[in-house]
């Protein structure tokens, strides 16, 4: 296997990790007004489920972006210039969401909380939608000229296939978040979250099925069909396990669904990294978009040394904060 193939695989793994971990963060944020209603204590319980881990989950995005820049600079250049406005919207939403999570409890005032809660909902829903749109466009391809420059505009990205991808990630992340809340809480929040699993699942199943079937029209193979079918089985299994009260299995089911769906997209994409809809000859591939072999060799040694350390640290964080949360864990504070 060439180093270019190894780094394509590593970037796919990084994006998959980001989507699985940040996916339930987005889901929790989107569902905040539903699972906690207007109860300030329940809202605290909901937000504390992701409090220790949300910023660590975003590191996967930073590493994925950095790895793309270093390993495939031409992919990075075409992608970030062509998707500039969409990525800027995502970045602003993530910044607003981060500010909301950090500043919400600086004042114990109901109006202050409502504004930041709205920021959390919007800052979670927008990236959940637009990441699906972006990934779908990467697989489908975008108009590139002979210099690999993007020749479309923002609305070119809003094609039916990409919008279906965005709706799929939006609903799937919401389902992932609901099952995560059921796993991490006791009491009213857990009851509300479990009540949402069935309706969210009823929406996620046909959306995900339609999106993955449509994806097969873009260089689908027997392997992508297998991955898509496994994703469907995991999604149905996760929903059924959650409804049966097996929250851990339910969460593993939706996590596996997102991971397998991401794998389907990247396997469909390979060996391209950004197909051209103008002319296939203008497509960016793992070969013509890659850095020099020397650069990839240095990056490989760095990844071999530091990746296990980062994974061990993040795994330890999840282990430390594994306990379910209840209303008794929230200090009694009077909200004006």
Residue 13 belongs to some domain of the structure: yes
Contact 173, 235 (CB under 8 A): no
Per-residue model confidence (pLDDT) at position 170 = 97
**Residue partners of 114: CB distance under 8 A and separation at least 6:** none
Reported for 212-215, long-range contacts at CB under 8 A and 24+ positions apart, including other chains, are: 212/261, 212/264, 214/161, 214/164, 215/139, 215/264, 215/265, 215/268
CB count in 10 Å sphere of residue 178: 30
Per-residue model confidence (pLDDT) at position 40 = 84
Residue 264 belongs to some domain of the structure: yes
Q: If 0-12 CB within 10 Å is exposed, 13-18 middle and 19+ buried, where does residue 172 land? A: buried
Task: In whole angstroms, give the CA distance from residue 171 to residue 129.
Answer: 9
pTM of the predicted model as reported, rounded to 2 decimal places: 0.94
Report, as ranges of residue numbers, the positions in the chain whose pLDDT lies below 50: none
Backbone torsions φ then ψ of 274, nearest 5 degrees: -155, 95
Residue 336 belongs to some domain of the structure: no
Task: In whole angstroms, give the CA distance from residue 114 to residue 120.
Answer: 10
Region of residue 279 (left: phi > 0; alpha: psi -120 to 50; beta: else): beta
Residue 137 belongs to some domain of the structure: yes
DSSP letter at 156 equals G
Per-residue model confidence (pLDDT) at position 16 = 95
Closest CA to 274 of 8, 1, 7: 8
Coil, strand or helix: which one is 285?
Answer: strand
Per-residue model confidence (pLDDT) at position 198 = 95
Contact 96, 124 (CB under 8 A): no
Distances (CA, A) of 182 to 121, 198, 336: 19, 13, 29
pLDDT digits (tens, 9 = 90+) for 87-117: 999 999 999 999 999 998 888 888 888 899 9
Per-residue model confidence (pLDDT) at position 334 = 60
Total domains in the chain come to 1
pLDDT digits (tens, 9 = 90+) for 209-250: 999 999 988 877 899 999 999 999 999 999 999 999 899 999
Coil, strand or helix: which one is 331?
Answer: coil
Per-residue model confidence (pLDDT) at position 37 = 81
Closest CA to 218 of 268, 273, 278, 274: 268
Per-residue model confidence (pLDDT) at position 326 = 86
Residue 335 belongs to some domain of the structure: no
Q: Which domain holds residue 39?
A: 3-329
Per-residue model confidence (pLDDT) at position 209 = 93
């Amino acid at each position: 296997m060439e180093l270019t193939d190894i780094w394509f695989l590593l970037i796919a793994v990084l994006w998959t990790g980001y989507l699985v971990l940040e996916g339930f963060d987005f889901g929790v944020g989107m569902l905040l007004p539903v699972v906690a209603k207007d109860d300030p204590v329940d809202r605290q319980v909901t937000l504390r489920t992701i409090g220790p881990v949300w910023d660590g989950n975003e590191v996967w995005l930073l590493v994925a972006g950095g790895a793309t820049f270093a390993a495939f600079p031409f992919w990075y250049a075409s992608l970030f210039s062509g998707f500039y406005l969409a990525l800027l919207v995502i970045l602003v939403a993530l910044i607003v969401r981060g500010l909301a999570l950090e500043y919400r409890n600086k004042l114990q005032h109901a109006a202050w909380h409502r504004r930041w809660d709205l920021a959390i909902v919007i800052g979670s829903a927008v990236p959940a939608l637009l990441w699906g749109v972006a990934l779908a466009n990467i697989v489908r391809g975008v108009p590139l000229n002979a210099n690999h420059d993007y020749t479309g505009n923002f609305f070119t990205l809003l094609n039916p296939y990409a919008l279906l991808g965005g709706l799929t990630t939006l609903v799937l992340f919401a389902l992932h978040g609901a099952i995560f809340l059921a796993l991490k809480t006791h009491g009213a929040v857990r009851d509300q979250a479990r009540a949402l699993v069935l309706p969210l699942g009823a929406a996620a199943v046909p959306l995900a099925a339609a999106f993955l079937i449509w994806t097969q029209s873009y260089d689908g193979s027997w392997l992508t069909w297998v991955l898509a079918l496994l994703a469907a089985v995991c999604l149905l299994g996760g929903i059924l396990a959650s409804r049966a009260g097996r929250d851990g299995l339910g969460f593993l089911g939706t996590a596996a669904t997102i991971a397998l769906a991401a794998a389907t997209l990247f396997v469909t994409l390979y060996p391209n990294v950004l197909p051209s809809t103008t002319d296939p000859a203008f497509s960016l591939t793992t070969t013509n978009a890659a850095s020099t072999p020397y650069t990839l060799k240095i990056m490989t040694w760095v990844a071999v040394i530091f990746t296990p350390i980062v994974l061990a640290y993040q795994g330890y964080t999840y282990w430390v904060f594994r306990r379910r949360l209840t209303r008794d864990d929230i200090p009694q504070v009077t909200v004006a």
